[in-house]
Structure 1
């Protein structure tokens, strides 16, 4: 089917007249957060009410990662539990935030089919809904991470002050990732499943339960690790807080990814967003 035919088959709606204006729609979504912010929070509350421990149960993954895996792997690497728990907590917090954004965005448009076909919501509302859910997941890691950092005596104050800026940069990248991956997920329904299957591999490839100095830059495994974008985001957030140096390649990698990603997302949204009602 040709592109022109696709355009004819897309249902006309108030929203479909402006799908090529990504930044304008994004501004409108931020000005009207009732849908994406409230629905994300209600989803968290519903999940919590279904469990006996309520909101405390949402912290279980953080406890397992930080103090479960942390205590198991700390002695294997000759580290104290206090040092390794802080290392794991900060790394797992960033990795889970990004992976939640990636996987959630791949499924968000398909899961919102009935709302999208109704035609009264912007696609950016659903993208922000996915990011909001990942932010609430991020918040469940905060109490456990605070405990881990209190146990560790080498926390750098300057790194803590830079942490909010780094988180903002991470979510800026999460935005363009959500745009591109949501459109791919709308076009190919199995894309979300593929990301689920690769998440374990990416977790093991990212230095969360091990230290990056185990992979020298000149080795093949070290180069593979540095090709992994999760490594750079984790390092950019974690290293300053723990008083560790950040390689210059990480700054260049994240900076280039942010600029190129936002430009690509703007183009892809402008080019393909109008086909979403047809794809889903």
Structure 2
């Protein structure tokens, strides 16, 4: 696949496949960014573990007492919600500026734009994997059945696919509208409060006003879709329909936006 083909409207699927086959740019550079960020600190990569440890065990224990819940299951609830939410926010906020950040590469002729989206995605995936290590023993203690853990083989790839198409759309639009970065940061402040991370979905029944408002938030369904089976909780039927709509509609939208507007990115920058 040539760069010229991408500039003239190459399909999203073709560019993404080419990027996946050549991870040397986005994969290695993402890991290098992560390592060099902490290289000069005394604790090094230990700093990656400290925030989630404090969040899961410190805030998790505090809020479990506040809500009158069992500490260990609530820590898992909070921890899974935390790492899934963090991946969503890291990819979207990073994607909103990734084209501008890589402007020199683009102007130099490297215009397979999926490379820059995957660079942001890979960096967030490294954080996700490292943080997930903390949750593995806790999940093993509270998950009622092996089937709950096995559900991640289905739910997690679907979650990742949705985060990926969101990143692609935001990356293209972010090149045209620089304010998208500030907008997304502001939206996430309110989105965190409307997402079942420090609170549980059962506190907002679907037949109540607050439950209706909470379920307008796509992150509500994305996180519950992954987390609920692990904790042995049922997934709402509405969540299944939202996930199907997001996955199918989102992939179609990403393919259209990428093919229609990626050719203008260099001009916008």
Is the TM value for this pair above 0.5? Answer: yes
Structure 1 partner of 2:18: 28
Instruction: Name the CA distance, whole Å, in 1 between partners of 2:90 and 2:144.
Output: 27
Instruction: Name the CA distance, whole Å, in 2 between partners of 1:79 and 1:123.
Output: 46
Q: CA deviation at 1:17?
A: 3.9
Structure 2 partner of 1:128: 118
CA deviations 1:37-67 (Å, max 9, x no partner) are 1111111111121322111111122113211
Unaligned runs of 5+ in 1: 1-12
Preserved CA contact (<8 Å) 1:91 1:208: yes
Within the candidate set 179, 189, 202, 2:178 is matched to 189
Structure 1 partner of 2:219: 230
Q: CA deviation at 1:16?
A: 5.0
Secondary structure of the residue aligned to 2:10 is coil
Instruction: Name the CA distance, whole Å, in 2 between partners of 1:117 and 1:155.
Output: 53
Instruction: Name the CA distance, whole Å, in 2 between partners of 1:176 and 1:24.
Output: 14
What is the alpha-carbon root mean square deviation over aligned residues? 1.5
Secondary structure of the residue aligned to 1:14 is helix
Structure 1 partner of 2:197: 208
Instruction: Name the CA distance, whole Å, in 1 between partners of 2:40 and 2:93.
Output: 23
CA deviations 1:188-231 (Å, max 9, x no partner) are 11211221122221111111111111112111110111111111
* TM-score normalised over the length of structure 1: 0.91
Q: CA deviation at 1:18?
A: 4.1
CA deviations 1:72-126 (Å, max 9, x no partner) are 1111111122121011011111111111111111111111111111112410111
1:78-227 pair list within 5 angstroms: 78-150=68-140, 152-227=141-216
Preserved CA contact (<8 Å) 1:97 1:138: yes
CA deviations 1:158-188 (Å, max 9, x no partner) are 1111213222111111121111101111111
CA pair 121-278 structure 1, distance change in 2 beyond 3 A: closer
Instruction: Name the CA distance, whole Å, in 2 between partners of 1:241 and 1:156.
Output: 8
Q: How many residues align?
A: 267
Query: Which region of structure 1 is more displaced relative to structure 2, 226-235 or 18-27?
Result: 18-27
Instruction: Name the CA distance, whole Å, in 2 between partners of 1:198 and 1:161.
Output: 33
Displacement over 6 Å in runs of 4+: none
Instruction: Name the CA distance, whole Å, in 1 between partners of 2:153 and 2:52.
Output: 20
